Structure formats: C-alpha cells, structure tokens
Amino acid sequence: MTVPGVGPADSGPGAGSAGSFGRDLHLEPAGPGGRRASLMRALREAIRSGRLAPGTRLPPYRTLSADLGIARNTVAEAYAELVAEGWLTARQGSGTRVAPRTAPARARPSSVAPSPHAPRPAYNLLQGQPDAGSFPRAAWLTSARRALTAAPTEAFGPGDPHGRPELREALAEYLARARGVRADPAAIVVCSGFAHALRLLVRVLRGPMAVEAYGLAFHRGILAAARMRTVPLTVDAEGARTGELATSGARAVLLTPAHQFPTGGPLGPLRRAAVVDWARTTGGIVLEDDYDGEFRYDRQPVGAVQGLDPERVVYLGSVSKSLSPAVRLGWMVLPGALVEDVVAAKGEREATASALDQLALADLLASGSYDRHVRRMRQRYRHRRDQLVSALAERAPHIGVSGVAAGLHAVLELPPGTEDATVRAALDHGLVLDGLAGYRHPDSTMAPQDGLVVGYGTPSEHTFSGALEALCRALPPTAAR
C-alpha cells in the first residue's frame, strides 16, 4: 500500500488532512498478532532491510491511519513502542524518523584472509578534468533561475533533437566571436558531449577515418565499436601531418587543431590549409575537436579550422573542460548536408541533453557570465602551469616539458625506458597520473616516446602544491643514460 505523509509534525496545525500533500511510503502490514503488531513488524522489516534509511521521516500517524484503514491510536501506539525499542525517534517539530544506527559487524569467513587495499591516492594529476571546486555555482544558479522563469511552456514537453533554439542562438554568437566559427543556429545540433557526438557522426559518415597517432584510446574505441577502421597520422611539433591523408584512403579525419591532444602544439597554418584542400578535393569530412580552445597562455588565439570551410568541417565542442563534465552538454556545428542525417540518428526526441540545462547554459552565455568564468579560469590555470614549469626547472631540469602554451595539461619527456617505473613511483608517493604510451595508436609507425601526461587543471587549490611535490619526487633523478 502506498502511504502519503504530510505536515511538519505528527499532529497539530499544518499536519494536513489524510491523503493530501506528502511523501509516499510502501507498507504491507500482515501476519498474526493484530494490526498494531503487523504494522510494527512491517516497519521493523523496512528499517532492517535498509529500505527506510536512518533519518527517513515517516508519515504523520493520522495520515497513515487513514490510508491503512486502522485506528489512529493504533498507529500512535506502534510508533511509540518502536521509539522505545530504538527503531524510531520522535522530536517535537521534527516528526517521527528512522533512528540512526550502527551497522552490526559481520563475521569474516575463516577461510578467507582479508584482502589488502591500496590507499586512495592523495593527489590527482590525470588529464581531462577541470578543477571541480571552481564550478561557477552562483552564476549557474542565477542563470538557471532566470531561464526557468522565462522558459516557454513547450520547453517542458518532449525535447527537439536539434537542441533548444535559445542555446543554439547563444552558441552561434559565442563561437563566432570567441572561436572564429562560422555558425548558423540552424547548423548547430546539441548533444551530451564529444563522445555522444562522435557516436552519432560515425552512423552517418563513411570510413575509414584518419586519426592522430597520439590521442584518446576511448575515442578510438568508439570508432572500433562502430566497425570504422582508423588510420594513424604521424604527429610532430606542428600537429598531425595532414599531407599523409593523400595516401591514407580515409574518407574522414578527426583532428585536435587548436591544441593537439596530448602532445600539445597547434596545427600549423600550411597543414590547416592542406586538410581543407584534401576535404574539398576528395569529398572528405574533417572532424574538429576543440576540447580546450578557450585556454591559451603564451600565444595568440588559434581560430577554428571550420572557419576555412564550414561545408567540409564539423566543429565539435563541449563544456566539460570550461565548466564541468557534470554538465552533460556539447554541440556540433555541421555542414548543411549533414544536419538532418545527424538529427535522424539522434531520434525523434531529445534523449540525453536536459532542456533546462540547455536553457541555463544559454543564459550563462548570453549574460556574459560564461566569458567571465573562462577568463577567471584562464588566469588560474596559467598560474598553475607556471608553478609546474618552475618546479620542474628547479627540481628536475633534465625533464623536458612541452604543450604548455595552452590547455590544461603538459607532457613531460622522460628518459627512454623509464615511463612505467615513473608511473609506479608516482603511485608510491600517493599521486595518480598517466603515461604517454596509453595514447599511442597501436598501428602507428612512430617510434614510441616515454613521457607523462600531467593534468594540472584537476587538483583543488589546496592540494596542487602537494601534487607537484609528489610528482618531483617520482621523476627519474638523472637524464637518459
């Protein structure tokens, strides 16, 4: 039976009438001993099984009695007895609640020795994560409230797979102004992030797809799951060697032009022109992953490749680095010929991106709060980058550092043969980070490089200095032999 609970206390003004506003509670009193005993038995079982957690507020007894069809005094007596037994607590103004309790100790099977567990690392320098503590809570809350107040009624119905028009319009203005993207709101399709976008695109594009020889294995896994063969392009200080596309047999290419992931540099101007020429000549499609394009420090902003030819380049972005991966919103700026195919691949209704979050982000962009947050975080991450570089120059001058002119991570160049040992040493010092080897395409002909991918955006402010200390302690003490 479903029981609604109402009111601030078990009785008195404000408790409400039976069946009015409140919570639901499922109870099935049954068994011998009368109604009070069966009710007490049902409540004990719900608490013992964990279905009613400590602190859970129970319905006022007059509401429960009305719903169960038993006398109010019977419910009151059952509550009182369970309070006396320690199952419940009752306090004026707080109602009747499940009492806090300590879980009983469980006997360990004598045949099984306790398993040792490594302590959770104290420090985290994994790439791909912004400082979670820097999320602009007040600005987001203000935008969410404003957007919710102004939202049209239809925003609360089934979602349009194109995305909310308010967000697509705000994105078109922002991306044109800040990233040099030639964006019409009609060409923008909202998604839940880059991975979601890639899954949609592989359903409408033909392979093989060329990818950078160093990149995320997770992205290669998405392509492999779609049975799309990938062809690695050599990467150097100027990004991917796009000239290799001519002999690759690829029909599409996935690039990180603003800040090659993970090695660092931007795609050189001649290579940008070359990849667009390749796409025009062959009918190919360029996927541009602009994963952290807002964060640059020692160089002029690098505009989007999409601005060179919007009909051959798909521009992909999200807020996972600029705001938080918890805000599951991303976007595709598509060539006109791909829009309806991608929307069809999404389905008739929006299934992943909350309309209310889209409205909040639209307001954040339109109000200027997003720009202010990005500028603030750009300064914070630059300071962290400087701290990292200074610490390495002082403590490990033999370790080269690259990719630090932009983004949220750096690559540390290690002596040959030391990468695995250094990652293990970092764990011994309570630090978790990635080696470079895991990013290398298995079919690449590039010589493997030993290195670390250090995400300096991830730690909280109060743990960053400790993370740097642990990193310096873990690094090989001398240069290559």
Q: Which of 317, 343, 370 is the last residue of a domain?
A: 370
Tell me, yes or no, whether 121 lies in a domain.
no
Q: Kindly state whether residues 212 and 277 are assigned to the same domain.
A: yes
Tell me which of 7-16, 17-26, 111-120, 166-175 is least confident: 7-16
| Measured distance CA(317)–CA(292) in Å, rounded | 8
The verdict on 444 and 329 lying in the same domain is no
Asked whether residue 405 falls in the same domain as residue 462, the answer is yes
pTM: 0.78
Geometric angle at alpha carbon 317, from 128 and 227, rounded to 5°: 80
Q: Can you tell me the distance from the alpha carbon of 260 to that of 313, in angstroms, rounded to the nearest whole number?
A: 17
Stated length of the chain = 481
* H helix or E strand, kind and range, residue 400: strand 400-402
Domain end (from 52, 72, 98): 98
pLDDT of residue 479 exceeding 80, the answer is no
Residue 429 lies in a domain: yes
Answer yes or no: do 390 and 306 share one domain.
Answer: no
Of 115 and 364, the structure prediction assigns the larger pLDDT to 364
Clarify whether residues 360 and 384 are in a common domain.
no
Task: Say yes or no: 178 and 322 in one domain.
Answer: yes
Give the residue among 462, 191, 203 at the shortest CA–CA distance from 351: 191
**pLDDT tens profile 297-346:** 887 778 899 999 999 999 999 999 999 999 999 999 999 999 999 999 99
Q: How many CA atoms does the CB half-sphere of 145 hold within 13 Å?
A: 5
Cα gap 448→316, rounded to integer Å: 29
CB-CB contact of 251 with 282 (8 Å): yes
Residue 111's pLDDT band, with cuts at 50, 70 and 90, is very low
Buried b (16+ CB within 10 A) or exposed e, 61-73: bbbbbbbbebebe
Q: Does the residue 94 lie in any domain?
A: yes
Claim to verify: residue 389 and residue 366 sit in the same structural domain: no
Query: Which domain CATH number covers 410?
Result: 3.90.1150.10
Residues 6+ away with beta carbon under 8 Å from 168: 162, 185, 186, 188, 190, 331
Stretch among 37-41, 201-205, 305-309, 429-433 having the lowest mean pLDDT: 37-41
Q: What is the CATH number of the domain that holds 83?
A: 1.10.10.10
Q: Give me the pLDDT at residue 91, please.
A: 80
> Looking at the domain assignment, is residue 128 inside a domain?
no
Residues 295 and 351 in one domain: yes
Determine contact, residues 192/328, Cβ cutoff 8 Å: yes
User: Above 60 in pLDDT, residue 5?
Assistant: no
Do 353 and 382 lie in one domain? The reply is no
User: Taking 90 as the threshold, does the pLDDT of residue 378 lie above it?
Assistant: yes
- pLDDT tens-place string over residues 144-175: 999 999 999 999 999 999 999 999 999 999 99
Helices (H), 206-303: 217-225, 269-282
4 pLDDT above the threshold of 80:
no
Indicate if the pLDDT at residue 11 is higher than 50. no
Q: How far is CA 179 from CA 121, 176, 381, in A?
A: 37, 6, 19
Domain's final residue, options 334, 354, 370:
370
**Confidence label for 420 from pLDDT (cuts 50, 70 and 90):** very high
Per-residue pLDDT averaged across 258-279, rounded? 93
Kindly list the distances between the CA atom of residue 350 and the CA atoms of 149, 196, 200, 345, in Å, as whole numbers in the listed order. 22, 12, 13, 11
Supply the pLDDT for residue 119: 60
Q: Judge whether 144 lies within some domain.
A: yes
Same domain, residue pair 291 and 328: yes
From 29-38, 133-142, 225-234, 324-333, the region with the lowest mean pLDDT: 29-38
CA gap 370, 342 in Å, rounded: 27
Q: Tell me whether residue 114 is in a domain.
A: no
Q: How far is CA 337 from CA 220, 225, 310, 399, 423, in A?
A: 25, 25, 11, 48, 46
Alpha-carbon distances of 328 from 151, 177, 187, 204, 357, rounded to whole Å: 20, 23, 20, 22, 8
Q: Average pLDDT of the chain? A: 87
Distance of CA 295 to the CA centre of its chain: 18
Residue 20: the pLDDT is: 44
pLDDT at residue 218 is higher than 70 = yes
Going by pLDDT thresholds of 50, 70 and 90, the confidence category of residue 19 is very low
| Mean pLDDT, range 182-193, rounded to an integer | 95
Residue 438, domain extent: 372-474
- Mean pLDDT confidence for 413-439: 94
Tokens of 449: 């490089």
Residues 356 and 236 occupy one common structural domain: yes
Domains: count for the chain = 3
pLDDT at 205 exceeding the cut of 90: yes
> Would residue 421 count as lying in a domain?
yes
pLDDT at 105: 35
Residues 169 and 280 in one domain: yes
Read off the CATH number of the domain in which 207 is found: 3.40.640.10
- Residue 142, pLDDT > 50, answer yes
Residue 116 three-state SS = coil
